[in-house]
Amino acid sequence: MTTRVGPAVTTSASDTGGPAAVRVLLPAGPRPDPFVLAGGTGIVFVDGGRVLVGLGRAVTLELPGGLDDRPAVDAAAAALAAIPFEDGASASSGSHGHGVLAFAALPFDRSSRSELVVPELVYCSEDDGTEWVTIVSADGSGLPDVTDPGTGAALRRCLDESSDDRPDAVVPSPVRLRPRTSDRDFTNAVAGAVDAIHRGELSKVVLARAVDVHLDRPVDIPRLLARWRALEPACTLFSVPTGAGQFVGASPELLVERVGDRVTSRPLAGTTDRDHDAASALPASLADSPKDTEEHRLVVDAIRAELAPLASTLTVPDRPELVHLHTITHLGTTIDGTLRPEPAGTVPSALHLVARLHPTPAVGGVPRREAIEWIARLETGPRGTYAGPVGYMDAAGDGRWMVGIRALTVDGADAVLTAGVGIVAGSDPATELAETGLKFRAVFDALAPGVAFTTDQVPAGRTP
């Protein structure tokens, strides 16, 4: 997709023939619907009051060896920082951050080939209501003049065309479900993992299972996101194109955020029903559950160990808080710190922090290497982008990356839902199975509201 908006007035931002960018402040006006603006193939991040939409592809930053490829991570951060940039927004509006951003949904497998994309156009609505647009040209030509007062008005008119007054589409029927792993096979895998933990081979492992969903018409991704936003207002909504389809979700878990020298992570581990009843197999009180508090402690300790060498200060609360979502309550801990400057005077970029942390024990396990080996042994196939880092980084190295959970991959009328559970010594296979159902329903309610979801008595690999 190639996006051309605004007046094509060439600036002198680049004289090398390489990429260049400008940021334009938008005049006051009605805000575009971000989901409609992105459509079914664009990039969307909605986090609280901040909205980001990316269209087109101006620059691709390759990671041939994934997050394990440190030279490629270094090169990607350097290439992003080197893009010439003319900022016509921050001086007049007080906008924070750099306007050139790269987005990605990275694979769970940290050694898999991956990439970050710098869109041709990024629309942003900040928490304070300020709106701006960044345009990136791959060869530095055709950029609008940020000094022309008419540029912002022209961009506003283009964005105003993205409106949608259609009522929410009726959910297609029937919906066909096909679990890739039967309930029995999954509980057997959990039991095998518990046995390995009791033998001392590892302390924790997160096991996931996937369900294929087929609808009778293509998924309307803008409408899916709008429903999800209503269900999970406290989560970060995202939609990112990948090789397998559009990766769409509402993640509650912050892997890492960097703003200047400040670093924040908010891991979640430990789960129960939001509206608990006596029939639930999950604990009525997470705070009093030895299994869930141990599962959470392992995650917090691992993140603390990774960030502590990089930080001059690091604050880790003694006890987790309860994080309430649409159907689920988690244990969560917010970890804050100040990064220590490296010898060159810089601090690690957000992408470097992602490479250091992923996968945390919230989606992998402890020890990491042994847990990954057990995941490969017990799961039916690669996870793809499920539980991988999904987020963005700007040219200054700031960024926000979520854990790609409570998500699905959409390809036309087909979707793949994945849910994982943390296994520790106190795990019970039947309870872990019930937890996957709870997490599946949290996603399925947005995809097909009002339709019952079950994997019970559905043979793996066959439609009911």
Catalytic residues: 204, 253
Candidates 116, 197, 188, 181; CA nearest to 361 is: 197
The token duo for 115 is 């990439």
The whole-angstrom separation of Cα 58 and Cα 143 is 12
Residue showing tokens 């951003």: 101
The whole-angstrom separation of Cα 290 and Cα 299 is 15
- CB contact at 8 A, 122 and 109: no
Residue showing tokens 């990607």: 76
The whole-angstrom separation of Cα 221 and Cα 32 is 16
Q: What residues form DSSP beta bridges with 204?
A: 366
The whole-angstrom separation of Cα 313 and Cα 243 is 40
The whole-angstrom separation of Cα 405 and Cα 267 is 12
Candidates 377, 362, 366, 359; CA nearest to 323 is: 362
Bin 413: left if φ > 0, else alpha if -120 < ψ < 50, else beta.
alpha
- CB contact at 8 A, 390 and 104: yes
CA distances from 283 to 295, 328, 423 (A): 13, 12, 15
What length does the chain have? 464
Residues 6+ apart with CB under 8 A from 175: 213, 214, 215, 448, 451
Q: What are the φ/ψ torsions at residue 70 (nearest 5 degrees)?
A: -60, -45
Q: SS3 string of 226-251? A: HHHHHHCCCCEEEEEEECCEEEEEEE
